[in-house]
Structure 1
């Protein structure tokens, strides 16, 4: 073994505590990078393969009713490869063992199993038998949530008639990877499920025999979907078409794609911060290590070692740390990535969701971390090899003495001798002190980032579901009703108060930008459903004009005061023009709001309602649910309590797992940063501290000199860490700004306190370790001259 390799091994052993601490920081960055990127790649690959193998349609359309011969005209549209007409209807279900009413989406399929668009993967059971009108296939998510199995029966109100549906199979469809209704932002697999029923049986039940109300199209390669959608809308307009849309806007596809995109963004931001901190720590470690090894470097160069040999020796120290961290991080990252993918199977339903990991990803992660570490160490290594041997053999000149700021102000009498030593050392090495402050501040920032999702989601739930949406139950009618329906609603069991609302399906258009949505018409000064601004003050609904969520305004490229084109997709399908009265900061979904009577005037109709928000006596809920299950006029029922539970389960629980991982990793970083700072300070000042012991200072006093300096640096780093942490939170809030939900840049006082407690605890533990080293300081060996 070469002499430099012996020296490398000795240095690694001597610095083992610092090496392990930095390696763990590197491991954290690599683990998060590998876990998130591998989960992202696995999800994206599974989505692409599933959509292709089971032929997910590229264009979708819903309408009132159209005759089957219209298919020939649709097939003749240039670029259309395949057309599949369907019957799709939502019905109220009575699921065994469930008090609340559920909604089932009945989707027609051919009587015989043939290749179709949005084809089915049958997980259990069998396909439908021709002529058995009661047989259905049920979605796996709904079956699992309600503990349904083959042979079970579910009651349903089908076109006003009560009917029992017999489950013969459990299936999956690429159309419902994320099983959610339009207008919802979260899945509720216990209360919404998809059932596939024979085309003849379903068409006959809803008077659609020889007709259809839903379309799925595939396109030829290189076809422009927008051109096809335009022509399709023209054909469907006389038949009550609600506006066609392409695959990217299909609700399940959109949600899955948004999650995958968000996962990729998070995978780029957080690991980059970890690796940057690791590079910073390595720079500090090497620069200070080189300062303590000036004489050794000089002797090596005097004995003929080249600049390259000396520089490579120190770079090998960096690479050993990186590869140690890489080995740990790769193992942890693979385990975390596999666990993340299993977590996603609770919400995204694929026939096969295989965990994929490539050697290139692992090597790339290690290469990125090695590059970051080498860059962080480059300046220090360059300084080491540039020292002439004669200069390096001399000890560093003592620091130039000058009075401290407090001494110049005449305040030195307020400090003890130990306090003056601490203050002088900080003032004489401002750059070193600044680097230590930055390192500790980054650790504090990461602790704040680790708790960000928890803070933001708690805030979102409080504002969206406890302040804005305060209704207990929301009911939606199967068709718009006159104003008198409010009196019927008020007499439902347990209803204490109700607020009717109107929803009109429209397509917004601003120049070339479009979006299909429903305008919500709310009552003026509503108590159950209200809008609030960023200061949480109620926003009054304008007498005329429309309010859009800021995210929708961004998508439509429209601002307050501009006029928006509204293409109504129901009734006579008029086109209206409405002024944008303002943009509101809703945190969930995309929405458009008007005062209900203003919306009625826009539609040129009387006081019409699409549903009602209800405040309900909790003791009467069971009676209310039982009645709603048997009411054909009720198309769907939403429960606020259930919505909160779904949000917490679907988003909060998912983020909580990542939060826990990031907080653990942030704690590792905090300890690594503070411990390294203390150990390096001990290495640099051991001669000075030994001298103080010789001239009469006690062990406690020299410990206070060293650890007091670290305490001062930690205190100074806290406000800096708060600022950096908040800046990173703002950056992450931009990454979480999706159509599904927006996480605001919120940091609670509890998170700031948590960061302070962790860092001060790390400082305390590091202080105990360093204090033990001080107690065993070899005064004779340390005081030997270096000349």
Structure 2
């Protein structure tokens, strides 16, 4: 072992605390890189394989009712590889002991053999027999939520008729990875089922003999969906085509695609922050070490070591810390990725999901950490090459403090000597102090931003379910009905208030931007479900235009005063131009609001409603649910509390769970910065502090001289960190927001207070560790000049 190698081991052991702290900062960055890149690769590859294996359609074409012979015309469209027609319909499931009617979607499969498109994965039991119309296969997640087993019976209301079915198996499908009931945006396994039946049985239930109401289309390789969709719409238009759409507009695929894209963006933006902090910390540590070992460098050169040999010695120290942290972070990333895979497997209902390591993540993570660390150290190592043995072995010229802070007699009498020492230290090395302030401020900003995001998730739920939606239950109907039909609901015992709503599916366009969504028609001054502005004040719905949510306005790049093209996909399917009169704050979905009579007038369908918001007496809830269950016009009932709980579960999983990981990481980086600042200050002033002890200063006064500096730096970093956290909050909230929910960027004093607690705890722990070493230090050894 060469002398320089032995020295490397001794030096690393001497700064082991700082080395470990810097390595942890690097490890966290690599952990995020490996974990999130691996999750992106795993989700992307699993989704692609699942779609291909079970032949998920490329285009979905719903229609009111089309004859079966039209399938041949659909197959003749250029670019179409295969066509599968089917029957789908809404249903209500009645389970024993549950008053609430549970929504379901009935989907047909061929009476025998596998479907050409949108096959299912059977998890339990068997498939139904084509000659037995009373057999169904149900969605596995719904069955598990209610403890159902193959062989049990199921009471279902379809097309207004009550039927009994035998459950013969459970299944999963790539079409229903993310399942929501019609009219809702939050998935809830316990309140939404999918029932697969034979084509003959379902056609009979919905009066679709010899007809279909949805066509599934797969495309030839290289075919653009837009051209095929236009041709399909032309064919289905006279049969009540609702508008074909591509796979990317399927709600299940859209949400998963947004999840993957969010992970991809985070993996590309977060790790560089940690690499930059690590480079800064290494710069500080190595520069201090070079100043302390100035004479040793001169001796090594005098004994024949070249500039490259001496420089490579310190560079090896940097690489050991960087590579060690990167390898440790890679191992943690693998473990964290494998743990999160189980969460995604349960949440997204994949039949299989294996954590797939992306080799590029290791190359990028380890390579970036090494390059960043080397960049921080190379600025310092230039001084090694500049030092000649004669210059290095002489004492460094004393710094010029003639222009530094001076205390007058009055100020000197007011401030004690340790306090003056702290203030002089701050003014004599302003660049280093500013660097420490910036480093701690970065930790404060990240901690404050993550605390704000944690609060914003709760604010999003509170604003949605306490401020915007003040109803107790949302009732949806099978099809739009007359307004007077709500009288039966209004007269139910326990119903306090009923507010009608009309929801119309439509394609909203502005310029080149479009969004497939719906228009929600409400009364002029709604009380139970309101549109509110950014100050949560209710917006009065006018009859001269449309109000868009903030998320939808951002997607369409539209503002009040602009005109919106609305292509209605229901009834007569008119295409109208409407002015945007306001933008409302909505954190759930991307709704558009209109006054209900104005919406019905535009559709030429007066006095129509498609649902209602109810406020009711909780004591009569069970009775109300039972009565709604018996109404043939009711398609679904959604209690607000159930939707709220489902949203809370969703935000605690998937992308929402990542906020907890990032909050923990913010604490790690904050502690790393503060701990290194304290250790560097201790190492630089070890001899001075020992001299003060010999002169009679107490341990408490010595600790005040050192830790007072850390306290001042930390306090100065807090306002700078608050400003950085304010800006960072907007960037992180935009990254977490999706079409399903938008996270408000609200930076509050409470969020900053939480960040301050994190910083103060990190400062106290660092100060305690440094003070402990000061109390244990050998005064004689510290006062000796290193040879």
* Deviation digits for residues 257-304 of structure 1 (CA, Å, limit 9, x no counterpart): 111111111222222222222222111111111121111112112222
Q: Does 1:731 align with 2:734?
A: no
Give the C-alpha shift of residue 760 in structure 1. Answer: 1.6
Partner Cα separation in structure 2 for residue 665 and residue 296 of structure 1: 38
Say if 1:552 and 1:591, in contact at 8 Å, map to a contact too: yes
1:165 aligns with 165
2:347 aligns with 347
2:25 aligns with 25
2:298 aligns with 298
Give the C-alpha shift of residue 457 in structure 1. Answer: 0.6
1:580 aligns with 580
Say if 1:395 and 1:786, in contact at 8 Å, map to a contact too: no
**Secondary structure, aligned partner of 1:347:** helix
Partner Cα separation in structure 2 for residue 714 and residue 675 of structure 1: 11
Say if 2:655 and 2:736, in contact at 8 Å, map to a contact too: no
1:156 aligns with 156
Partner Cα separation in structure 2 for residue 758 and residue 330 of structure 1: 26
2:714 aligns with 714
Partner Cα separation in structure 1 for residue 333 and residue 632 of structure 2: 52
**Secondary structure, aligned partner of 2:347:** coil
1:669 aligns with 669
Give the C-alpha shift of residue 695 in structure 1. Answer: 2.8
Partner Cα separation in structure 1 for residue 357 and residue 664 of structure 2: 24
Q: What does residue range 522-533 of structure 1 map to in structure 2 within 5 Å? A: 522-533=522-533
* Deviation digits for residues 91-110 of structure 1 (CA, Å, limit 9, x no counterpart): 11102343321011000000
Give the C-alpha shift of residue 251 in structure 1. Answer: 1.1
Q: What does residue range 511-526 of structure 1 map to in structure 2 within 5 Å? A: 511-526=511-526
* Deviation digits for residues 460-479 of structure 1 (CA, Å, limit 9, x no counterpart): 01111210011110001112
Say if 1:113 and 1:127, in contact at 8 Å, map to a contact too: no
- RMSD across aligned positions (CA): 1.9
Partner Cα separation in structure 1 for residue 535 and residue 410 of structure 2: 48
Q: Does 1:553 align with 2:553?
A: yes
1:134 aligns with 134
**Secondary structure, aligned partner of 2:397:** coil
1:419 aligns with 419
Q: Does 1:483 align with 2:462?
A: no
In 2 relative to 1, CA 698–278 (structure 1 residues): closer, same or farther, beyond 3 Å? Answer: same
2:445 aligns with 445
Say if 1:63 and 1:242, in contact at 8 Å, map to a contact too: yes
Bigger drift between 346-355 and 485-494 goes to: 485-494
Partner Cα separation in structure 2 for residue 4 and residue 634 of structure 1: 82
Q: Does 1:89 align with 2:75?
A: no
Partner Cα separation in structure 2 for residue 655 and residue 309 of structure 1: 48
Give the C-alpha shift of residue 530 in structure 1. Answer: 0.9
Normalised TM-score (structure 2): 0.97
Give the C-alpha shift of residue 516 in structure 1. Answer: 2.5
Partner Cα separation in structure 2 for residue 757 and residue 250 of structure 1: 44
Give the C-alpha shift of residue 778 in structure 1. Answer: 2.9
Say if 2:533 and 2:583, in contact at 8 Å, map to a contact too: no
* Deviation digits for residues 241-266 of structure 1 (CA, Å, limit 9, x no counterpart): 11100111111111111111111112
Say if 1:457 and 1:652, in contact at 8 Å, map to a contact too: no
Say if 2:150 and 2:167, in contact at 8 Å, map to a contact too: yes
1:232 aligns with 232
Q: What does residue range 105-116 of structure 1 map to in structure 2 within 5 Å? A: 105-116=105-116
Give the C-alpha shift of residue 526 in structure 1. Answer: 1.0
Partner Cα separation in structure 2 for residue 585 and residue 347 of structure 1: 28
**Secondary structure, aligned partner of 1:729:** helix
2:383 aligns with 383
1:194 aligns with 194
1:70 aligns with 70
Partner Cα separation in structure 2 for residue 498 and residue 767 of structure 1: 62
Bigger drift between 437-446 and 638-647 goes to: 437-446
Partner Cα separation in structure 1 for residue 360 and residue 731 of structure 2: 28
1:694 aligns with 694
2:269 aligns with 269
Give the C-alpha shift of residue 404 in structure 1. Answer: 5.2
**Secondary structure, aligned partner of 1:484:** helix
Say if 1:453 and 1:655, in contact at 8 Å, map to a contact too: no
Q: Where does structure 2 lack aligned partners over 5 or more consecutive residues?
A: none
Bigger drift between 294-303 and 632-641 goes to: 294-303
Partner Cα separation in structure 2 for residue 312 and residue 117 of structure 1: 62
In 2 relative to 1, CA 417–72 (structure 1 residues): closer, same or farther, beyond 3 Å? Answer: same
Q: Does 1:366 align with 2:379?
A: no
1:740 aligns with 740
1:645 aligns with 645
Partner Cα separation in structure 2 for residue 332 and residue 66 of structure 1: 55
In 2 relative to 1, CA 562–755 (structure 1 residues): closer, same or farther, beyond 3 Å? Answer: closer
In 2 relative to 1, CA 409–719 (structure 1 residues): closer, same or farther, beyond 3 Å? Answer: farther
Q: Does 1:124 align with 2:124?
A: yes
2:283 aligns with 283
Give the C-alpha shift of residue 595 in structure 1. Answer: 0.9
**Secondary structure, aligned partner of 1:190:** coil
2:759 aligns with 759
Give the C-alpha shift of residue 692 in structure 1. Answer: 2.1
In 2 relative to 1, CA 305–573 (structure 1 residues): closer, same or farther, beyond 3 Å? Answer: same
**Secondary structure, aligned partner of 1:500:** strand
**Secondary structure, aligned partner of 2:483:** coil
Partner Cα separation in structure 2 for residue 776 and residue 355 of structure 1: 48
Q: How many equivalent pairs are there?
A: 787
**Secondary structure, aligned partner of 1:82:** strand
Partner Cα separation in structure 1 for residue 577 and residue 409 of structure 2: 71
Q: What does residue range 562-577 of structure 1 map to in structure 2 within 5 Å? A: 562-577=562-577
In 2 relative to 1, CA 184–383 (structure 1 residues): closer, same or farther, beyond 3 Å? Answer: farther
**Secondary structure, aligned partner of 1:411:** helix
Partner Cα separation in structure 2 for residue 335 and residue 773 of structure 1: 35
Give the C-alpha shift of residue 359 in structure 1. Answer: 4.3
Say if 1:454 and 1:656, in contact at 8 Å, map to a contact too: no
Partner Cα separation in structure 2 for residue 757 and residue 510 of structure 1: 47
**Secondary structure, aligned partner of 2:565:** strand
Give the C-alpha shift of residue 349 in structure 1. Answer: 1.6
Give the C-alpha shift of residue 60 in structure 1. Answer: 0.3
Give the C-alpha shift of residue 654 in structure 1. Answer: 4.3
1:768 aligns with 768
Bigger drift between 19-28 and 734-743 goes to: 734-743
Say if 2:84 and 2:115, in contact at 8 Å, map to a contact too: no
Partner Cα separation in structure 2 for residue 408 and residue 633 of structure 1: 88
